[in-house]
A and B are shown apart, each in its own frame.
Chain A
Amino acid sequence: MKFNKSALVMILYILFLMLPIYWLINMSLKTNQEILSTFSLWPNQLTLDNYMVIFTDPSWYGGYINSITYVIMNTVISLSVALPAAYAFSRYTFMGDKHLFFWLLTNRMAPPAVFALPFFQLYSSVGLFDTHIAVALAHTLFNVPLAVWILEGFMRGVPKEIDETAYIDGYGFFTFFRKIFMPLIASGIGVAAFFCFMFSWVELLLSRTLTSVDAKSIAATMTRTASASGLDWGVLAAAGVLTIIPGALVIYFVRNHIAKGFALGRV
C-alpha cells in the first residue's frame, strides 16, 4: 500500500515536470503551419525540418558551440582557483579567513542584473567584449564562491592525519595534492563541476549582455530570434529541445551521486 502511494505521488510529480517538456518536443516535430492551424496532442505530419534549420544555419549551431565553449572554460577556471582556496579554508586559520569566506559567499547573492552594465563596460574597455573568456570570467562571479563552498565541505570530511602522513612519507605539497588528496575528494570535484556547469549553462542575462556576434550564446540566439523573426515556434521549440540534451546527459552520468552531491558534502 505504502509503496503504491509513494509511486503515485512520484508519477504525478514527474508527469507535472514532463508535460511541458513533452509539449516542447511535440512542437519541435511539427511544421509551423500545423502548429498554428490545428491543435493536436502529437504531430500529425512528423517533420525534422526544424532541427535541420538549426544544424545547417551557423548562427544557430554556432550558438551551441559558443555556449559549450564558455561553460567549459568557466568550469575549468572556477575549479582551478577554487581548489587551493578551499584547501586553505578547510585546513588553516589565517588573518581574516572568516571574513574572506563570508565575503566570497556574498558574491553568490549579488543579482546578475546589478553587474550586467558594469561588466559590459569593464570588458569593453579591456577589449574582451564578445569573447568566450569574457562570459566565462563573468560567470566566475557566482561559480567560484559556490565551488569554494562545496569543495570546502568535502575537504573538511577528509581527516587531516592523511595530509600529515603524506608529508612524513616525504611527499611534497603538489605531489600530495595531485596524487593523494584529489582522488579522495573526487566526488566533491565532480559535484562542484556539475554545479559550475549547471549555473553557467542556464544563465542568460550576462551571456547576452557580454556577447553580440562572435561568441553569442544559444540562449541569446533564442531570445533574439524570437523577437526578431516573430513566431517561428517550430524552430524555437527545436532549439529548446537541443539545449535540454546536454543537461540531461550530465544528469544521467552523475545520477548515482546526485543525492550525495546535492547535500554538498554537508549532511
Chain B
Amino acid sequence: MKKTPNQKAWFMVLPVLLLVAFSAIIPLMTVVNYSVQDTFGNNEFFWVGLEWFEEILHSERIHDALGRQALFTLIILSIEIPLGIFVALHMPKKNGLWSSLCLVLVALPLLIPWNVVGTIWQIFGRIDIGLLGYTLDKMGFDYNYTQDSFAAWATIIIMDVWHWTSLVVLLSYAGLKSIPDAYYQAAKIDQASRWSIFRYIELPKMKGVLLIAVLLRFMDSFMIYTEPFVVTGGGPGNATTFLSIDLVKMAIGQFDLGPAAAFSLIYFLVILLISWVFYTIMVHSDKEAG
C-alpha cells in the first residue's frame, strides 16, 4: 500500500513514545549511569569510565554464562523448530471438534505462568514425588536434577521444549493453513513425493512465519529466567546459570550495581546484534531468491 506523507502522524505516535520513553529510556539511562560509576554506599558515586565494561568483558564468570546460554539456545532451537514444523504438518486440517481440541490443548502450555511451568517440572522431575523422576529412577537411571548437572540440563531443555514448541507449531500451522488446496492437487498430478511437497510447497509458504518463530524463540530463550530459576535456581553449582539468572544474582543478590549495569548493556546489545544478523540474513536470502 502506498502511504501518504503526513508529519502530523507524529501526534498519533506520541502516546506510545511517551509511555515507552518512561518505561524504557529512563531505566536505560539509569543503567548507563550506573555502568560508568562506582560507589562506596551512601549514595556517593564517582566516575570510573569504562572500567566495568572491561571487567565484564574479561570476566570468566560471564564468559561461562554466555557459553551456557548460547549452547542452551542452540539446543532448544534445533529441537523446537523441526519438532514444531513436524507437529504442525500433522495438525488436523479440517475444522471440527478434533481440530478445536488439538488447538486448545496445543496452545495451553503457552498461557501457563512461567513460574508455574517451573513448578510443574520441578514436581514432575522429582525422584520422590514426580512421575518422570520416579519412573527414570526406578528404571535404574541415575537421574537427579538437583545434584547432577546433566540431569538438570536435560530437565530444563525438555521443559523448554514442552513449554515453547507449541508456539512454533501454531505459527507453522498458520502458515500451512494459508496454502490453497490447488497446490496440493497440482503436486498430486505432478506425482510429487511427500518430501517434494514439503520442500517446494510447504516450506516456502512457511518461511515468513518461521522467521518470526526463530526470532521469537531466539530472543525469549536468550532471556530465559523464570523457569530455570524455579526448577534449579541456577544449579547444581552454576550448571544452569544462564545470563539473566546471573544478572539478577549480580544486581539484586549482590547489589553490584556497576558491573551489573555494564553487563546489562552488553547483554542487550548482544541480543540486538544477533537478532539483527538473523533478520538480515533471512530477509537477504529471501530477496536473493526473488
Contacts and interface: CB of A to CB of B under 8 A. Distances in A.
B253 to A, nearest CB: 11
Interface residues on B, range: 35 or more
Interface stretch (A16-24, A50-58, A178-186): A16-24
Q: Which of B8, B100, B107 has the most CB of A within 10 A?
A: B107
A85 B13 contact: yes
Given A20-B162, A24-B123, A141-B20, A222 B27 contact: no
B112 A5 contact: no
Contacts of B113: 201-204, 218-219, 243
Interface in B81-124: 86-87, 90-92, 98, 100, 102-116, 119-121, 123-124
Interface stretch (B52-60, B170-178, B182-190): B170-178
Nearest to A223: B115
Interface string A80-106: 111011011111111101001000101
Interface residues on A, range: 35 or more
A84 B3 CA distance: 16
A259 B174 contact: yes
Q: Specify the main secondary structure of chain B where it touches its partner.
A: helix
9 nearest A-B residue pairs (beta carbon): A247-B111, A118-B27, A263-B174, A88-B12, A113-B244, A92-B9, A88-B9, A84-B12, A114-B264
Interface of B: 1-10, 12-13, 15-17, 19-20, 22-24, 26-28, 30-31, 86-87, 90-92, 98, 100, 102-116, 119-121, 123-124, 128-132, 134, 162, 166-167, 170-171, 173-175, 177-178, 208-209, 212, 219, 222-223, 225-226, 230, 243-245, 247-248, 251-252, 257, 260, 264-265, 267-268, 271-272, 275
15 contacts: A88-B9, A88-B13, A92-B6, A92-B9, A93-B3, A93-B6, A94-B7, A107-B24, A111-B267, A113-B245, A113-B251, A116-B251, A137-B22, A222-B119, A262-B174
